Amino acid sequence: MRTQPEAEPILACHDVSGGYALDAEPLREVLKGISFLVRAGDCYSITGPSGSGKSALLRLLNRFEDPIRGEIRFRGAPVQSYDPLELRRRIALVLQQPVMFHGTVRENLLRRPGGEQLSEAALVQALEEVGLDRAFLDRNAMEVSGGEKQRISIARSLLGEPDIILLDEPTSALDARSLHLVADLIGQLNRVRGLTVIIVTHQPEMIHRLGGRVLFLDKGHIIRETDAEEAARILEEAQ
Amino acid sequence: MKPIIDVGTLHLVLALFLVLIVLAISYRERLGLERELVIATGRTFLQLFAVGYFLVVLFAWDRWELVLVTLFLMLGAATWIAVGRLKHPLPGAHRIALVSLAAGSAITLAFVTEVVIGVDPWYDPRYLIPIGGMILGNAMTGASLAGERFQGELRARVDEVETLLALGFSGLEAVRDLYRSAIRAAMIPTINAMLAVGIVQLPGMMTGQILSGTSPLIAVKYQALVMLMITCAVALSSFLFLRLALRRYLTPAHQLKRSLIL
C-alpha cells in the first residue's frame, strides 16, 4: 500500500553536500547540493556512473558520514538529533559485500547490538521473509552462496525492525537468477511489508522489477528524477 | 670466587677477526653485505662505548635529576621509534605513543624497583637505567606491534566493522575483535619468550650477571623478575596505545573515519 502523497516525508535531504566517494583515490568529497524527499513506503532507486556519489549518499543517510553542508531529516528531525546507534537500526544499511561471521547462520543472526535476545521464531520469520527456510539456521554461514549471503544479510537487517532499508548494489556480484530472486524479495519487502526502500543500482533489470522513483546522479549532482519505467529505458539505451 | 676478566682493548680488537669471517663469507657468496657490515660494526662499538662512558658518569654523579632526565630521553627515543614502525599514518601518533609508553613503563618500573627490589636510594641509576631500558624497549616493541597489527586488521576487515556499525553496534563493539587480535599479537612474542626461557639459551641479562660474578641463583631471580615485568609493560603499553588510537579511528557518533583507512 502506498502512503498518501501528502504524508510527511520519512526522510528529507535539503541541499546536502559532502560524503566520500570510496572507490576514488585520494578520498574526496563528492556530493553537491542534493535535495530529495522520501515518503514512508516509497521505493527509490539511485543510479549513475561509478564515482558519481551513489554509495556516498547512502552513507550519509544512516550517518556513516556527516554532510559538510545541508541537512538530512528523518521523521521531521535532523538525523544528528537521534542516538546514532538507534538511527542505524531505524535506517538499516545493507552493504554491497555481504559479510558473514564465522559460525552458523543462526549465530550470525543472533549477533545483535546491545545484547538483544531473539527467539527462534523471530529468526525463522526473518529467514522466511527473504525466502530461505529454517534449515539454513544450522548451515555454516561462510559456505552459503553469494545470493544467499546477500539475503541473509538483508534478514539480519530486518531483525532490527527498520523503517527504511538502504541497499548498496546488492546484486552487482550475483548471477541473473540470484538477481531476480533478490530483486523480487526487495520488491515484496516494499509492497507487502510496506518497508521504505532506497537502493543503489546500475542494473536496469533491478529498476524495472522494483518500480517506484529513480534518481540519476552524475558527478555528485542529481541530474534527473523520474519513474522506473522511463529510467530503465534510459539505462538500456545507454548500455 | 675468581675476579672477572676484563677484556683488554687490544683483545677486543682481536674480536674483529669474527667480523672478518663474516666479510669473507659475504664476499665469497656475493651477498653484498660488506658495506653494511662494516658500518654496523662501527656503530656497535661507537654506540656501546658512548653508552658505557655515559653510564660511568651517571653512576659517578649519582643524582636523581640526571636519572630522570636520562629516563625521559629514553622515553622520547622509544616514542619516536614506535611511531616510525607504524606502516600507516595515525594523527596524534606521537602523543598516543608517548602517553602509553610513559604510563605502561612508569607503573612497571616503579613497582619493580621500589616494591619488589627495594632499590635504595630510590633513584639508584645502577638499577633504574638498565631495568628502565629493558621495560621501555619491550613496551615500545609491544605498542608498535599492536598498532601495526590493528591498522592491518582494520584495512583487511573494514567491511566487517561497517557491517556491525550498520546493524547498530557501537564503534568499540564493532572493532573489538580487531583490537583483541592486535593485543594478542603484541603479547605472543613475550609469552613465547617466557615459555622458552632458559631452555636453549640464557637470556642476555642473566648471562651478563653470571659473567660478572653474580651467583646463578640470584641471576635467575632477577631474570624471572625481568620476564614478568616485560610482560606487564608490554600488556599495559599496547592496551593503552590501542585504547587511545581507537579514538582517532572512531568519532563520538560511532563513525569509522574512512579517510584514515584508504
The shortest CB-CB distance from A25 to any of B167, B173, B262 is to B262
B178: closest CA of chain A, how far (Å): 13
The shortest CB-CB distance from B159 to any of A64, A86, A99 is to A99
Nine-digit cell string for A147: 545470493
d(CA B235, CA B145): 11
Nine-digit cell string for A46: 539511485
B153: closest CA of chain A, how far (Å): 15
d(CA B159, CA B231): 33
Q: Within chain A, which residues score under 50 in pLDDT?
A: 1-3
Instruction: Name residue A14's beta-bridge partners.
Output: A71
Please report the sign of the dihedral spanned by the C-alpha atoms of residue A56, residue A59, residue A64, residue A67: positive
User: What phi and psi, each to the nearest 5 degrees, are found at residue B191?
Assistant: -65, -40
pLDDT (0 to 100) of residue A206: 92
A135, exposed or middle or buried, with CB in 10 Å at 0-12, 13-18, 19+? exposed
List the 5-44 stretch of A: residues with Cβ below 8 A of B.
20, 22, 25-27
d(CA B24, CA B16): 12
pLDDT (0 to 100) of residue A25: 62
Residue in A closest to B259 by C-alpha:
A27
Per-residue pLDDT tens, chain B, 262 aa: give them: 577 788 888 888 899 999 999 999 999 999 999 999 999 999 999 999 999 999 999 999 999 999 999 999 999 999 999 999 999 989 999 999 999 999 999 999 999 999 999 999 999 999 999 999 999 999 999 999 999 999 999 999 999 999 999 999 999 999 999 999 999 999 999 999 999 988 887 888 888 899 989 999 999 999 999 999 999 999 999 999 999 999 999 999 999 998 888 7
- Interface check for A115 against chain B (CB to CB < 8 A): the answer is no
- Interface check for A86 against chain B (CB to CB < 8 A): the answer is yes
Contacts of B52 (CB under 8 A, 6+ apart): none
Under 8 Å between Cβ of A212 and A43? yes
Q: Show residues of chain A in contact with B169, CB under 8 Å.
A: 85, 113
By C-alpha distance, which of B88, B159, B238 is closest to A168? Answer: B159
Under 8 Å between Cβ of B148 and B126? no
Residue in B closest to A84 by C-alpha:
B253
Q: Would you tell me how many other CB atoms lie within 10 Å of the CB of residue A1?
A: 7
Contact: A99, B165; criterion CB under 8 Å: no
By C-alpha distance, which of A136, A71, A141 is closest to A103? Answer: A141
> Reduced to 3 states, what is the DSSP secondary structure of residue B244?
helix
By C-alpha distance, which of B127, B4, B110, B17 is closest to B62? Answer: B127
3-state secondary structure chain A: CCCCCCCCEEEEEEEEEEEECCCCCCCCEEEEEEEEEEECCCEEEEECCCCCCHHHHHHHHCCCCCCCEEEEEECCEEHHHCCHHHHHHHEEEECCCCCCCCCEHHHHHHCCHHHCCCCHHHHHHHHHHCCCCHHHHHCEHHHCCHHHHHHHHHHHHHCCCCCEEEEECCCCCCCHHHHHHHHHHHHHHHHCCCCEEEEECCCHHHHHHHCCEEEEEECCEEEEEEEHHHHHHHHHHHC
Contact: A156, B170; criterion CB under 8 Å: no
By C-alpha distance, which of A228, A225, A185, A178 is closest to A208? Answer: A228
Contact: A64, B162; criterion CB under 8 Å: yes
pLDDT (0 to 100) of residue B125: 95
